[in-house]
With several copies, the nearest count.
Chain A
Amino acid sequence: MIDVLYFAWVRERIGLPRERVETSAATVAELVAELASREDRYAAAFADLRSLRVALDQQLADFSAPLDGVREVAFFPPMTGG
């Protein structure tokens, strides 16, 4: 089980801020493929990975990163702070 968090328009498209996901995905990319195949709202949120960022246990990561030992995955658009 892994905590998956969504922020900004990713959260709005999927319609929830976080969920617990049962998965055997080995990488972020595999998790994305699983989620995107669930429902249209997920497919829409994950349609263009270039417009998405991912953090693993609150550290920015790549979509190719392994999920081994990770407890929290977050998906969000490019950041616009400052």
Chain B
Amino acid sequence: MQVRVQAEPFDYGAECAGFGDGGRDVGAVVTFLGVVRDDSGQLARMEIEHYPGMTEKAIAAIAEEARARWSLADVLVVHRHGALMPGEPIMMVATAARHRVAAFEAAEFLMDYLKSRAPFWKKEIGPDGAAWVAAKDDDEDALARW
């Protein structure tokens, strides 16, 4: 299990290549990559604030819950903070399990919990100034299924 919270960019391909050599009982690996979207073409940058100390603990607790619940052979969470440009990777998760259903469910569980339970806050900076991204009711509702 590996959890990293960092300002530096990460290399998604290299993380994928290095993940999931979890032994002979791994049949399925799922990864999720979150990217800074810029639908309007007006986003100058995104800034992600976090709560140092709590962030690592909250993510580790979520990752450990996923590992235990889906008997994961391995789990990885990387999440950036600080300034990010459109198109840059924000975060990723990876799960390794015996079967595909467990790998998918665990990755979705991780994403749903990271969205709403890990202390990150996104701010978008555009031509009209800065605005904090509002939490969506959908994201809170997504937790109900677990």
0/1 per residue, B107-130, Cβ < 8 Å to A? 000010011111111110000000
B134 at interface by CB-CB < 8 Å: yes
Knowing A7-B49, A8-B132 are in contact, say whether A80-B122 is a contact too (CB < 8 A). yes
Contact of B54 among A8, A9, A55, A78 (CB under 8 A): A55
Knowing A7-B49, A55-B51, A74-B51 are in contact, say whether A80-B115 is a contact too (CB < 8 A). yes
A79–B53 CB distance below 8 A: no
A60–B117 CB distance below 8 A: yes
A82–B34 CB distance below 8 A: yes
B45 at interface by CB-CB < 8 Å: no
A58–B114 CB distance below 8 A: no
Give every chain B residue within 8 A of A81 (Cβ-Cβ). 48, 50, 79, 91, 114-116, 118-122
The chain B residue sitting closest to A11, CB to CB, is: B49
Knowing A58-B57, A74-B51, A74-B54 are in contact, say whether A80-B135 is a contact too (CB < 8 A). yes
Contact of A82 among B50, B51, B91, B134 (CB under 8 A): B91
Q: How far is the CA of A11 from the CA of B121 in the complex (A)?
A: 12
Which bucket holds chain A's interface residue count? 10 to 19
A55–B135 CB distance below 8 A: no
A32 at interface by CB-CB < 8 Å: no
A5 at interface by CB-CB < 8 Å: yes
Contact of A78 among B49, B91, B135 (CB under 8 A): B135
B134–A80 CB distance below 8 A: yes
Contact of B51 among A5, A9, A80 (CB under 8 A): A5
**Minimal beta-carbon separation of B144 from chain A (angstroms):** 15
A79–B54 CB distance below 8 A: no
Within 8 A of A (CB), among B19-56: 34, 48-51, 53-54
B121–A8 CB distance below 8 A: yes
Binding site for B on A (CB under 8 A): 5, 7-9, 11, 55, 58-60, 74, 76-82
21 contacts between A and B (CB under 8 A): A7-B49, A7-B121, A9-B132, A59-B54, A60-B58, A60-B117, A74-B51, A76-B119, A79-B115, A79-B118, A79-B119, A80-B120, A80-B121, A80-B132, A80-B135, A81-B91, A81-B115, A82-B90, A82-B91, A82-B100, A82-B114
